[in-house]
Chain A
Amino acid sequence: MKEKNKKGRELSGLSDRTAMKIGIGITILGLIFMAFGIWRGEMAVVFEKAVNICMECIGIG
């Protein structure tokens, strides 16, 4: 494994600042994905599954 160099670059070759910018971008993209998923009704599927005892999850189904 290469060591982190003196400019603060990590194994990925990204500086901390660039990595953080990418992280912020993905965070925002995540929010957009969540909004789109809610808009197309995925939350109802999650809710339906979560309010009924999941027999498979507990090892009975």
Chain B
Amino acid sequence: MDKKKRTNEWGRHRVQILWAFLSNSYLAGFAKGRIYQGKLKNLCVPGLNCYSCPGALGSCPVGAMQAVVGSWNFKLAFYVAGFLMFIGALTGRFVCGWLCPFGLIQDLLHKIPFLKKINTFPGDRLLRKMKYVIFLVFVLLMPMFVVDLLGQGAPYFCKLICPAGTLEGGLPLVLLNKGMRGAIGWLYAWKNVLLAVILILSVIIYRPFCKYICPLGAVYSLFQPVSVFRYKVDQELCTHCGACAKVCKMQVNPVKTPNHPECIRCGRCTKICPTGALNTNVGKFGK
């Protein structure tokens, strides 16, 4: 198999597109400018998918977490925390690579040719820790403690940062509703600027949102070293050729740390490995 064929990612992209469609298949919402209000919204989807997207059938786990910790009668979110633990411990960051609609958008944008693609830069490693701070501050602490007179906290990550909410919810709803167009202000402008910056950066840097900002990826990454679905290296077959590390867009060396928190399980490394030394515990993957 030639190298081009082994690094072809359209198999994974097809799964991402299918999942993005399935989880946003309330087409009437796009036609009428409203959101789905059925019982499926009780359930969280595994990826970052705004529940105010007109097509969304399920709830965004990050939004759901903020809703519960920010509510006056609950402060601990067992339902959402349990969901994140379940998905994270079962699959690690597989969701980031295969089931997140915003990850798909960044993947596709990165395919656009650009003069110089940036793989890493000084401060890259440190900047990747920022997603943990964002999770702690904007998803947990602020909704919990920065509250109104009734004791209700706002979803600060959604409100101030989330570009997925702007892209999937803000833009279509504002375009489809005349009333909402009259209500937009500085916050809407700020979020659109942020979205534009992230989309432009995605052309140059692979998945900048996932690497530096995403609180959902931060949570899943904590479970990756102990996840049930995992990568393994057969040291006897490995020739240390470095092909896997070279092909990794998240700058992980899978031979050193096959279950590194930054790995999004895209499967490029397992496909490129010439000796089949790098594999998963459920067999060959990513073809």
> Contact partner of B255 among A4, A23, A27, CB < 8 A?
A4
> Contact partner of A56 among B71, B155, B183, B281, CB < 8 A?
B155
Q: Taking A42-B77, A49-B63, A50-B51 as contacts, is the C-beta distance between A30 and B82 under 8 angstroms?
A: yes
Q: Tell me whether B141 is interfacial, beta carbon within 8 Å.
A: no
- Interface members, chain B 244-268 (any A CB < 8 Å): 255-259
Contact code string A21-56 (vs B, CB < 8 Å = 1, else 0): 011111101111111111011110111111101101
Chain B interface size band reads 35 or more
Beta-carbon contact of A3 and B226 below 8 Å: no
**In the complex, A58 Cα to B159 Cα: how many Å?**
7
> Contact partner of A58 among B79, B173, B226, CB < 8 A?
B173
Residues of A within 8 A of B199 (CB): none
**In the complex, A56 Cα to B165 Cα: how many Å?**
9
**In the complex, A13 Cα to B180 Cα: how many Å?**
54
Beta-carbon contact of A20 and B52 below 8 Å: no
Contact stretch, chosen from B85-93, B104-112, B114-122, B206-214: B85-93
Closest to A32 in B: B82
Beta-carbon contact of B74 and A42 below 8 Å: yes
Beta-carbon contact of B89 and A59 below 8 Å: no
**In the complex, A29 Cα to B59 Cα: how many Å?**
21
Residues of A within 8 A of B187 (CB): 59-61
- Interface members, chain B 198-232 (any A CB < 8 Å): 223, 225-228, 230, 232
Residues of A within 8 A of B85 (CB): 26-27, 29-30, 33
Supply 12 A–B pairs (Cβ within 8 Å), ascending by A.
A6-B235, A16-B232, A20-B228, A23-B227, A30-B81, A45-B68, A47-B42, A50-B59, A54-B52, A57-B162, A58-B170, A60-B187
Hey, which bits of chain B sit against chain A, CB under 8 A? 34-37, 39, 41-42, 44, 50-52, 56, 58-60, 63-64, 67-68, 71, 74, 77-90, 154-155, 158-159, 162, 165-166, 169-170, 173-174, 180, 183-185, 187-188, 190-192, 223, 225-228, 230, 232-233, 235, 255-259, 281
Q: A11-B256, A23-B89, A51-B35 are in contact. List 10 more A-B contacts (CB 8 A).
A: A23-B226, A27-B89, A30-B88, A34-B86, A37-B81, A46-B80, A50-B63, A54-B63, A59-B170, A59-B192
